[in-house]
């Protein structure tokens, strides 16, 4: 039986090779032991600093104001100010954009808050008998 000990300087391993020969068989066995030094990295894969796990941000939702032919402009502005806390100037711009283009994004919020505010604003229009409509949709 032959025993061969091989040390690798490239990788921190030691290989032990047995060769036992019988009448008509040769058995070769290799035992590979990986050496771990204190404070010394073993291999490149183990030295890689684990990247921060990618956390998915919750989707945000646009609140969209839709134009109609009946709701008075001043009323639209007052709803935008009350529900979405826009200044008179911001509210007027949003209202005019919806009036001219058919719709306008008011704000982008978390799903729950966007839906609650759109519902609240729709309710205010309904209370006054106006067809004022706010919808929500996920941001791209």
H helix and E strand count, the chain: 4, 6
Nearer to ligand TYC, 104 or 109 (CB): 104
Contact pattern from residue 113 through residue 132 relative to ligand TYC, giving x for each residue in contact according to CB under 6 A and a dash for the rest: -------------------x
Is residue 136 part of the contact set for ligand TYC (CB under 6 A)?
A: no
Nearer to ligand TYC, 74 or 112 (CB): 74
Beta-sheet strand order (sheet of 60-66): 103-110, 60-66, 133-138
Q: Which of 60, 81, 93, 99 binds ligand TYC (CB under 6 A)?
A: 99
> Per-residue x/- mask for ligand TYC, residues 40 to 79, rule CB under 6 A?
-------------------------xxxxx-xxx--x---
Select 11 or 123, whichever has its Cβ closest to ligand TYC: 123
Residues 82 and 134: their CA atoms lie apart, in Å, by: 14
State the minimum distance, in angstroms, from the CB of residue 46 to ligand TYC: 60
Closest approach, Cβ 50 to ligand TYC, in A, equals: 50
Distance of alpha carbon 36 from alpha carbon 10, whole angstroms: 14
Residues between 18 and 47 that touch ligand TYC (CB under 6 A): none
Q: What are the start-end ranges of the H helices in 52-87? A: 73-84
Neighbours of 33 (CB within 10 A): 10
> Residue 18: phi, psi to the nearest 5?
-100, 140
d(CA 4, CA 71): 93
């Amino acid at each position: 039986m032959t025993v061969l000990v091989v040390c690798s300087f490239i990788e921190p391993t030691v290989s032990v090779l047995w060769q036992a020969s019988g009448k008509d068989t040769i058995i070769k066995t290799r035992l590979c032991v990986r050496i771990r030094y204190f404070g010394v990295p073993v291999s490149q894969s183990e030295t890689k600093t684990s990247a921060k796990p990618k956390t998915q941000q919750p989707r945000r939702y646009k609140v969209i104001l839709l134009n109609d032919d009946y709701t008075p402009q001043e009323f639209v502005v007052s709803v935008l100010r009350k529900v979405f806390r826009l200044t008179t100037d911001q509210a007027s711009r949003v209202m005019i954009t919806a009036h001219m283009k058919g719709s306008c994004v008011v704000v982008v919020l978390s799903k729950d808050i966007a839906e609650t505010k759109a519902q609240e604003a729709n309710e205010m229009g309904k209370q006054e008998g106006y067809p004022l409509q706010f919808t929500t949709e996920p941001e791209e």
